[in-house]
Amino acid sequence: MKSIEEKVIRARKKKNENEVNQIVKLKEKLFPGGGLQERVENFIPFYLKFGSTFFDQLLLQIDPFDQRFNVLIATEGK
């Protein structure tokens, strides 16, 4: 019984560690170097990939006076 309990604890720790690592990676992607993504990333790769519809989507999704963060997910074909 003790052996099974230890295996379950190890599995939980491993799962929690993986989830924490995913969150850390996402945070680093959204806030590179601890700063804002738009201060580091350039719009040109997005424009080249999605064309003028990139700007159309930005205008539809973003209110420049809203001070909350927005996360836009760029997918091809949309």
Helix, strand, coil percentages in the chain from 3-state DSSP, rounded to 5: 65, 0, 35
| Per-residue pLDDT reduced to its tens digit, 35-59 | 988 888 888 988 898 888 888 888 8
d(Cα 5, Cα 23) in Å, to the nearest integer? 27
Residues 6+ apart with CB under 8 A from 57: 50, 72
Q: The pTM is what? A: 0.58
Q: Diameter of the chain by CA atoms? A: 62
